[in-house]
Amino acid sequence: LIEQARINVLQIFPAMYQMLLAEPSFRPEKLKSIEWHFFSGAPISESLLAHVRSWGGQIITSYGMSETCGSVTYGGPGLPDEVLANTIGKPTPEGEVRVVSPTGAICGPGQVGEMHVRRDFGMTEYFNRPEQTGRAFTDDGWFKTGDLALVMEEGHLRFVGRLSEMFKSGGYNVYPREVELVLEAHPAVARVWYPGLASHPQHELAMLHQKGSGGAGFSFDVAVGRDAAFGGKIGRAACR
């Protein structure tokens, strides 16, 4: 269909790009008409971005949700793959985005907090759910997304996970995306995902699920050793 209709914009989830690469019959030439690759909805690895970039066209990303009625951050074009893979861009001109700590303070560079959104054409309420609506908004009218972001020095935001997905390990707050970033950097790992599991005395344990990409063997200890800042956060792990 892309070839026949000469479609020039492709907006899909990163997992769909991964599925294309895994399909034996896929040929990049089928996408030669694509001028814009637009991904959102999930993180993407730098190795996968490199494949997409080799097919030609610009690459952009964004972050949004149903309640915000569209994207509220935007990244690209022209950004390096390191930025596209590790951030969700900067707030768009159409809306306001702030990152707030558990104490209610506005987060500065290097700090993680919940993203709040305020815009003229966002959601006003959950239909017939006044209690849920009340929990979703701050007293001054900001929508609480439930998503956590790290504020970067240059103004970009790095998505680190859902507030409900953060878990404790040995006294540390651990966020899903920071674990994934370390493991995805290993050449033998194609994808990784995990839930938090109850575990004493670490409080919670990361149960890791990884899909190999072939080539070099995978060792969890070797992967986390590539990032000293992360290495101390997980005491134990099960990997398969």
Helix (H, G, I), strand (E, B) or coil at 60: strand
CA quadruple 102, 108, 112, 115: dihedral positive or negative? positive
Q: Over the range 18-46, which residues count as b (16 or more CB within 10 Å of their CB) and which as e? A: bebeeeeeeeeeebebbeebbbbbebbbe
Distance CA 238, CA 208 (A): 6
Is pLDDT of 37 > 90?
yes
CA 176 to chain CA mean position, Å = 9
Is pLDDT of 235 > 70?
no
Helix (H, G, I), strand (E, B) or coil at 67: helix
* Average pLDDT value over all residues in the chain: 80
Check residue 150 and give its pLDDT.
93
Global pTM? 0.71
* CA distances, 121 to each of 71, 100, 143 (Å): 11, 22, 12
Select, from the ranges 38-42, 59-63, 161-165, the one with the highest average predicted confidence (pLDDT). 59-63
Distance CA 183, CA 210 (A): 9
- φ/ψ of 38, rounded to 5, equals -120, 110
Check residue 202 and give its pLDDT.
40
Check residue 240 and give its pLDDT.
41
pLDDT digits over 48-103, tens only? Answer: 999 999 999 999 999 999 999 989 999 988 888 889 988 999 998 777 999 999 99
pLDDT confidence of 198, banded at 50, 70, 90? Answer: very low
| Nearest-5° Cα angle at 153, 40 to 64 | 20
pLDDT digits over 131-156, tens only? Answer: 999 999 999 999 999 999 999 988 89
Instruction: Annotate 189-231 with DSSP letters as a single string.
Output: EEEEE--EEEETTTEEEEEEEEEE-SSS---HHHHHTT-HHHH
CA quadruple 37, 41, 47, 48: dihedral positive or negative? negative
